[in-house]
Structure 1
Amino acid sequence: MTKRLILIRHTKSSWDDPLLPDRERPLNKRGKHAAESLGGWLASRGYLPDEVICSDARRTQETWERIAPALATAPEPRLTDRLYEANSDTMLAVLRHATGDTVLMLGHNPGLAEFAHRLVARAPLEPEFQRYPTGATLVAEFEIGDWSEAAPGMAAALDFVVPRQLED
């Protein structure tokens, strides 16, 4: 059996209010547009999640809210504080409790980039994969029957994109 993971770093956030707590930072205009573009890209390739696990930070929630309208079916996200400032091990632990066949996880760097690098057996050739900038999206498949079996190095990278590549 195959399980698919869509791993997204939130899009560009606003730094307009330096007094705003980090967890409360919203997306900026560029981030909003990038998230909408990612939604279109996911839909055009048939990458449709049946489960969404999202950091409870405002910018990750807003990223999902901008992606979701482009998808034929958009499940309600499961918000968790465990993905905020999470390291790779924590992200893997969260993923191992997923129940969907196609899971979308939305989180933050540096943990998300580390997680992506650890999961794939072979990294995508795209140079931006190393940096995993805002909005970076990896689509990977695992030959497993249950997410509890997921482990580092088991995933095959199917696709990778950064919002800049989707600009008109």
Structure 2
Amino acid sequence: MKTLLLLRHAKSSWTDPSRSDHDRELNRRGEKAAPVMGRYLHEQGLVPDLIWCSTAERTVQTLTLLGRDFASASDVIYNEDLYMATEAVLLESLGHTHDEARCVMMIGHNPGLADFAARLFGEGDGEALLEMNRKYPTCGLCQYEFDVDHWADVRFEAGRLIRFVKVKDLQGIGAPPT
């Protein structure tokens, strides 16, 4: 059994038009949201063994702000191919994950991350799927399980959706107001 966590980066800033999209940083809201999601993941026992992270500044900052458990307990692979990746690229990257990792997180961008999450659905929480398909907001997270031994065996329409969580749903554990 493998667990996959798909996390969209936290809210980024558009205040400096001279910055390239790749170099945009988080805004204050994003800086507050990422630690909230990190605490939630920690409380749920969802600290991954391995993290795939886009090299964009906002994804790297999101990872850093999730909390020290994520940076110290997880192997991290920073991959430029994940920047604005399609669902096919995300699936290919996931397939290169070492099989000792039981729980993997991917931190990326829309629309590719949302498209990837939707295409993985085979069964599971239908309400979460509807919510996820309505909007996959910044710092949104979905959790899938796959009945496979090898990450290379993960296929579209083969995942069991366990949950979809938005930071605004976590108001009770210190989420910033939306």
Q: TM-score range by the shorter chain?
A: over 0.9
Residue in 2 that maps onto 1:103: 104
- Higher share of residues assigned helix: 2
State the shift of 1:121 in Å.
1.1
Counterpart secondary structure, 2:127: coil
**SS of residue matched to 1:32:** helix
Match of 2:166 among 140, 159, 162: 162
1:8-37 per-position Cα deviation (integer Å, ceiling 9, x unaligned):
000100111011100000111110111000
Contact 1:97 1:148 in 2 (8 A): yes
| CA–CA separation in structure 2 for the residues paired with 1:106 and 1:124 | 23
Pairwise mapping of residues 24-43 of structure 1 onto structure 2 (< 5 A)? 24-43=23-42
Runs of 5+ consecutive residues of structure 1 not aligned to the other structure: none
Tell me what 1:125 maps to.
127
RMSD between superposed Cα atoms in Å: 1.6
TM-score when normalising by structure 1: 0.94
d(CA) in 2 for partners of 1:46, 1:129:
22
Task: Say if 2:153 is the partner of 1:149.
Answer: yes
**Alpha-carbon distance change, 93 to 11 in structure 1, aligned in 2, over 3 angstroms:** same
User: TM-score of the superposition, structure 2-length normalised?
Assistant: 0.89
Residue type at the aligned position of 1:13: S
Aligned length in residues: 167
Give the letter for the 2:157 counterpart.
G
After superposing on structure 2, the runs of 4+ consecutive aligned residues of structure 1 that deviate more than 2 Å are: 68-74
Question: What percentage of residue pairs aligned between the two structures are identical?
Answer: 37
5 Å-filtered alignment, 1:1-168, equals 2-69=1-68, 74-99=73-98, 100-122=101-123, 124-126=126-128, 127-130=130-133, 131-167=135-171, 168=174
Q: Gaps spanning 5+ residues in structure 2: where?
A: none
